[in-house]
Amino acid sequence: MSALLDSGSHLHAPNFSDGELAELNARFERAAASTIIEWAVEQFHPFMCLSASMTDALLIDLAVSVEPSIEVVFIDTGYHFPETLETVEVVRRHYGLNLRVLTVPPQPVELWQADPENCCSAAKVEQLDRALVGKLAWMSGLRRSEAPTRANAPIVARDLRGLVKVNPIATWSDTDVDGYIADHGIPVNPLLARGYPSIGCWPCTRPVADGEDPRAGRWAGRDKTECGLHL
């Protein structure tokens, strides 16, 4: 029986204090991503999942090397580029993934245009909430160098639900990512090579020019920079 279950099979979340989280972040600041993932798996598996955007399979590659049965969650908003959905299948086959795809009920017409906050809330955040029922922790590939809004992202934190959120590659630079992908033959979304360094839903993502902020193509022209998944 998992150490997270008592004799009545009730789930108990490890209760990390703010001080313990700070210590973990200090310890992991220079740790290898695989070391961070090993810690997370030891603490939370099987009550943990990995949320994947399918921009590339780097974090998936690292995670399944530690624990092949880890649950990978992909939220199909109904607005993904065909290339992203193709990448989901390529990655699923490549790794024999334990993949869970969450689909979204049809939205009112063009909600993304009229009210992107509520569109993201219904199509992304509510689906992640659903994916995290019965979980204690989740992992994401969020990195500090992706955007100024992410510059201080912790490696281990508590999210708004009270679950533990682990960002094993928070400290990785773009060069680190490109090097790992090249060295390990990691599957990537073909849109990366077509000027889309950050890939979301097609209505809210445009390609960026050389030298532009990598996330400048997300919700371009709107006062919105994040979908709300990483809160």
Where do contacts with ligand SF4 occur on this chain (CB under 6 A)?
A: 77, 79, 112, 116, 119-120, 123-124, 200-201, 203-204, 227
Between 4 and 216, CB nearer to ligand SF4: 216
Between 22 and 231, CB nearer to ligand SF4: 231
Distances (CA, A) of 38 to 44, 95, 188: 10, 18, 24
Q: How far is the CB of 219 from ligand SF4 (least distance, A)?
A: 7
Residue 178 C-beta-side C-alpha neighbours within 13 Å: 6
Q: Is 227 a catalytic residue?
A: yes
Q: How far is the CB of 211 from ligand SF4 (least distance, A)?
A: 24
Please tell me the distance from the alpha carbon of residue 126 to that of residue 138, in angstroms, as a whole number: 15
Q: How far is the CB of 193 from ligand SF4 (least distance, A)?
A: 21
What lies within 8 Å, CB to CB, of 56 at 6+ separation is 177, 181, 186, 187, 188, 189, 192
Residue of minimal Cβ distance to ligand SF4: 201
Q: How far is the CB of 204 from ligand SF4 (least distance, A)?
A: 3
Between 38 and 126, CB nearer to ligand SF4: 126
Output the CA torsion sign for 137, 143, 146, 152: positive
Between 98 and 121, CB nearer to ligand SF4: 121
**CA distance from start to end of the chain:** 31
Q: How far is the CB of 115 from ligand SF4 (least distance, A)?
A: 8
Helix axes 174-184, 58-66, angle to 10 degrees: 60
Please tell me the distance from the alpha carbon of residue 123 to that of residue 53, in angstroms, as a whole number: 13
* 135-156 b/e (C-beta count within 10 Å ≥ 16 → b): bbbbbbbbbbbbbeebeebbbb
Q: Which residues are catalytic?
A: 227
